[in-house]
Amino acid sequence: MDKKWKFNETFITQQLHDSLTLFDPEKSTLITFNDTSARIFLLLKKGSSEKAIIQTIVKEYDVAQSIAKADLYSLLDTLKECGVIKS
CA dihedral 30, 34, 39, 45 (to 10 degrees): -10
Q: What is the pLDDT of residues 31-80, one digit of tens each?
A: 999 999 999 999 999 999 999 999 999 999 999 999 999 999 999 999 99
> How far, in Å, are 17, 61, 73 from residue 6 at the CA level?
25, 27, 16
Domains of the chain from N-terminus onward: 9-86 (1.10.10)
Q: What is the pLDDT of residues 9-31, one digit of tens each?
A: 999 999 877 679 999 999 999 99
